[in-house]
């Protein structure tokens, strides 16, 4: 499997189990009744199920030796891009309230909201801020991505001499790249803002798969090279358990520290499989 896809599996395990698990532990220990917005979290879960199936399951079922054929790759890349674009449009438009922290009944009642502004109005109102934040994001992300490629070569050579598994490189790179979001998610959990944790972690997982898979497939089509996507049965089992555990956490009336402990334990199991 290409290193980028090894890293993709590592990213899913780090985000959905390690970071989410620690955040739930922090929120569950510090606060009495942490709450999630069930609608927004279920949207993330629905998209993750589809994207992960497209990325890791169906290539082994309908593809050729774990890779999509050229026709399948073009269709899958287009389908993934359209679905992810629809998600962004709805998240920033008519469904944006589904991704906000739910109101606690014990708090003071919120003032009655006025008429909903349209997406075009919001873009016009916050155009300068969006432009500035986009430029800042690119200025910060691009060096991290470029450095990660160089760091991957160094880590690969070092770990190869030590006899460490290849997947460990992807895990370390994924952990470094996601470190800023990890810090932000843990701070949000400390303030009992679990929906922000979900937006950071589950949203990042959706974006990662929704963008990497079509990009990799298109590059494979342009270079006329097959892209091996199908995962091992062990990793598929880990992904399936992760989705079940995420659903259990998302739809419970009250999130507890034990939910977080279960996520962290599953990440530990993933690390065990890496060294087997």
The answer on pLDDT for 104 being more than 80 is: no
* Comparison of pLDDT for 176 and 192, the residue scoring more: 192
Residue with tokens 């510090």: 30
The rounded percent of the chain whose pLDDT value lies above 90 is 41
Average pLDDT for residues 57-82, to the nearest whole number? 91
The answer on pLDDT for 125 being more than 80 is: no
Cβ proximity of 36 and 255 under 8 Å: yes
- Which of 13-17, 50-54, 80-84, 105-109 is the least confident region? 105-109
The answer on pLDDT for 130 being more than 90 is: no
Average pLDDT for residues 160-184, to the nearest whole number? 78
| pLDDT computed for residue 115 by the predictor | 54
The answer on pLDDT for 142 being more than 50 is: yes
Question: Of the candidates 246, 236, 233, which has an alpha carbon nearest to the alpha carbon of residue 206?
Answer: 246
| pLDDT computed for residue 240 by the predictor | 95
| pLDDT computed for residue 95 by the predictor | 82
Average pLDDT for residues 109-124, to the nearest whole number? 54
| pLDDT computed for residue 66 by the predictor | 85
pLDDT band at 262 (very low <50, low <70, confident <90, very high): very high
pTM of structure: 0.80
pLDDT band at 107 (very low <50, low <70, confident <90, very high): very low
Average pLDDT for residues 254-274, to the nearest whole number? 92
pLDDT band at 108 (very low <50, low <70, confident <90, very high): very low
Mean per-residue pLDDT over the chain, rounded: 82
> What is the Cα–Cα distance from 35 to 197, expressed in whole angstroms?
11
Question: Of the candidates 93, 143, 80, 99, which has an alpha carbon nearest to the alpha carbon of residue 123?
Answer: 93
Sequence-distant (6+) residues with CB within 8 A of 234 are: 273
- Which of 12-26, 96-110, 201-215 is the least confident region? 96-110
The vertex-29 CA angle with 27 and 34, nearest 5°, equals 40
- DSSP symbols for the chain: --HHHHHHHHHHHIIIIIIHHHHHHHHHHH-S-----HHHHHHHHHHHHHHHIIIIIHHHHHSBTTB--HHHHHHHHHHHHHHHHHHHHHHHTTTGGGGSPPPPTTSPPPPPP-PPPPHHHHHHHTHHHHHHHHHHHHHHHHHHHHHHHHHHHHHHHHHHHHT--THHHHHHHHHHHTHHHHHHHHHHHHTT-HHHHHHHHHHHHHHHHHHHHHHHHHHHHHHT---B-PPPHHHHHHHHHHHHHHHHHHT-SS--HHHHHHHHHHHHHHHHHHT-
The answer on pLDDT for 109 being more than 50 is: no
pLDDT band at 156 (very low <50, low <70, confident <90, very high): low
Cβ proximity of 55 and 205 under 8 Å: no
């Amino acid at each position: 499997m290409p290193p980028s896809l090894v890293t993709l599996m590592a990213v899913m395990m780090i985000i959905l189990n390690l970071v989410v698990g620690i955040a739930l532990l922090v929120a569950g220990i510090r606060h009495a009744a942490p709450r999630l917005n069930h609608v927004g979290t279920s949207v993330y879960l629905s998209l993750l199920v589809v994207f992960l199936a497209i990325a890791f399951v169906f290539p082994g079922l309908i593809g050729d030796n774990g890779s999509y054929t050229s026709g399948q790759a073009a269709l899958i890349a287009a389908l993934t891009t359209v679905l992810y674009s629809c998600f962004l449009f709805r998240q920033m438009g008519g469904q944006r309230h589904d991704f906000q922290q739910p109101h606690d009944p014990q708090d003071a009642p919120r003032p009655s909201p006025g008429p909903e502004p349209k997406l075009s109005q919001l873009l016009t109102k916050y155009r300068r801020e969006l432009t500035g934040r986009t430029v800042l994001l690119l200025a910060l992300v691009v060096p991290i991505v470029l450095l990660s490629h160089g760091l991957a070569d160094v880590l690969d050579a070092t770990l190869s001499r030590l006899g460490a598994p290849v997947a460990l490189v992807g895990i370390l790179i994924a952990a470094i790249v996601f470190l800023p979001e990890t810090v932000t998610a843990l701070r949000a959990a400390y303030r009992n803002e679990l929906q922000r944790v979900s937006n950071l972690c589950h949203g990042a997982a959706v974006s990662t798969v929704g963008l990497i898979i079509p990009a990799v497939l298109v590059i494979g089509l342009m270079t006329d090279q097959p892209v091996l996507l199908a995962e091992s049965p062990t990793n598929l089992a880990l992904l399936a358990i992760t989705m079940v555990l995420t659903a259990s956490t998302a739809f419970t009336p009250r999130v507890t520290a034990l939910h977080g402990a279960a996520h962290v334990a599953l990440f530990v199991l993933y690390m065990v499989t890496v060294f087997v």
